[in-house]
Amino acid sequence: MSDDNHTVPYPEASTEHPTLVIPGSGTGEGADAARPKRRRRRWPWVLLILVILLAGLVVAAEFIARSILPGTVRSLVIDQLDLPADQQLDVEAEGILLPQLIGGRLDTLHLSTDAVTLEGVTGAADVTATGIPLRGGDLGGASGTIRIDQAQFTTLLAGTDLPVESVAFEAPNATLGGSFTVFGTAVPISVTLTPGAVDGDLELTPVSLSIGGLDVDVDGVGGMLGSVGEDLTKPQRVCIADQLPAGLTLTSLEIVGSEAVIDIDVNGAIATDESLLEKGVCPRP
């Protein structure tokens, strides 16, 4: 080969002409380092966890409140009414308790028992109280129902002038069995009455009458039996306030099946006035 066509060498790298780097075309560690890292948003997850924990605490607190409240209320009622320590009494509160406890007042409480004895009369009872203050004060209101059987209804009428030795229910009436004395001889008598309530008193309206096993005219028997006959043949109002706490008022009474269903109204001040827990008083005749 001839030296006339010799190879010309590449020029050396010069700072006058730096190598250009096209953005985004780089690869490798240098490119990764140059690219800004995207920060991961963690706060929604943190917030969700806090909400879940808070909900769990609220549920736990509500559960604890519902576990403690019935026993506390039961103890207070038993103490106030001087009931036996082993008295069966179910307590149930309505609504979510925590806001009510914080506010210091329960919306509604239901109390029920299969058997409770008040002033010698035993029956099943259901009472609903509203606006119950937790820091002292009167109840917003309360009412209830007492159910008694035939034997207890007989006890309820024991203080009256009626010849009551037994009671038989046949809804809506009650038949009273007893006797009265005529010339030293006991004469059996049976009177069927429809019970009710008027102004807090028990009202008995006669329906039929039997003397010595014979049915007699209710309207015409008054003269035959004198004052006893008059009492048996006209509606009677019987005060039973002396057989109930003073804070309870009879509002209605009816025979349902084999029970006498007595509705009562409860004075809200019974929670603060101890005299309302004492036996009531009947006016003198």
Identify the pLDDT of residue 71.
85
Averaged pLDDT, 61-65: 69
Answer whether 109's CB lies under 8 Å from 74's CB.
no
Cα distance between residue 63 and residue 61, in whole Å: 5
Q: Are 96 and 63 in contact (CB under 8 A)?
A: no
53 compared with 114, residue with greater pLDDT? 114
Contact 119, 244 (CB under 8 A): yes
Work out the mean pLDDT of the chain and round it to a whole number. Answer: 79
In this prediction, residues 128-132 reach a mean pLDDT of 92
pLDDT score, position 174: 94
Nearest one of 35, 11, 39, 15 to 25, comparing CA atoms: 35
Q: How confident is the model at residue 196 (pLDDT cuts 50, 70, 90)?
A: very high
If one compares 233 and 240, the residue with the highest pLDDT of the two is: 240
Does residue 46 carry a pLDDT above 70?
Answer: no
Beta bridge partner(s), residue 182:
185
Check residue 12 and give its pLDDT: 58
**Quick check: 36 pLDDT over 70?**
no
pTM of this prediction?
Answer: 0.72
* pLDDT at residue 237 in the model: 87
User: Among 45-59, 72-86, 196-210, which is the least confidently predicted range?
Assistant: 45-59
Q: Which residue has the higher pLDDT, 51 or 27?
A: 51
Return the number of other C-beta atoms located less than 10 Å from residue 47's C-beta.
10
How far the first Cα of the chain sits from its last, in Å, is 157
Percent of the chain with pLDDT over 90: 27
Confidence check: pLDDT of 278 > 90: no
Please identify which residue in the block is written with the tokens 């210091």: 104
* pLDDT tens-digit map of 95-106: 888 888 888 888
Please determine, for residue 131, whether its predicted confidence score (pLDDT) is greater than 60: yes
Give yes or no for residue 30 having a pLDDT over 80.
Answer: no
What are the DSSP calls for 247-262, one per residue? TEEEEEEEEETTEEEE
